[in-house]
Structures are given as structure tokens and as C-alpha cells.
Amino acid sequence: MHRVVKLMIRKINWVIWLLLVILWNYGFPQASPFMDVIVAVFLSVFFIIIQLLLSRHLQKSSSRSKFKN
């Protein structure tokens, strides 16, 4: 179950990243190709950080036991 959740989060993050890149390209058509690359890299790094934070959160929440006293 935990693996399925991670895979689903990864796919959702990728789709959101793709939509933001598309919005950037259509929202700022006058931007240079260099700016397009910079924005795509920035968004990639941002989503990698989000994925790491979510992964840590899932690990912490799954390691807790319901029956711990």
C-alpha cells in the first residue's frame, strides 16, 4: 500500500510540473529559450524537494504503531 501511494504521488507531481511548464510557455511566449530552461529546472528542483518532504512524512507516519503504549 505504501508503495502505491508513493507512485501515485510521484505521478501527480509530474503532471502538476508538466502543467506548470505548459502554462509558463503559453503565459510568457516572449520568454527566451534560456528562460524556459531556467523555469523548468527551477520547477523540477522545487518538486524534488516536495517529493523528499512527502517521502519523509510518509515514512514517519507509517513507522508509528497503533498498539504502542
DSSP assignment string, 9-61:
HHHHHHHHHHHHHHHHHHH-TTS-HHHHHHHHHHHHHHHHHHHHHHHHHHHHH
pLDDT the model gives residue 46: 93
% of residues, the chain, pLDDT over 70: 86
pLDDT the model gives residue 42: 94
pLDDT, tens only, 9-67: 889 989 999 999 999 999 999 999 999 999 999 999 999 998 888 888 777 776 655 55
Alpha carbon of residue 13 to chain centroid: 4
Cα–Cα distance for residue pair 13/67, rounded to 1 Å: 33
- Gyration radius of the chain over CA positions: 17
pLDDT the model gives residue 35: 94
**Domain limits, the chain:** 9-53
Asked if residue 10 lies in contact with residue 51, where contact means CB atoms within 8 angstroms, the answer is yes
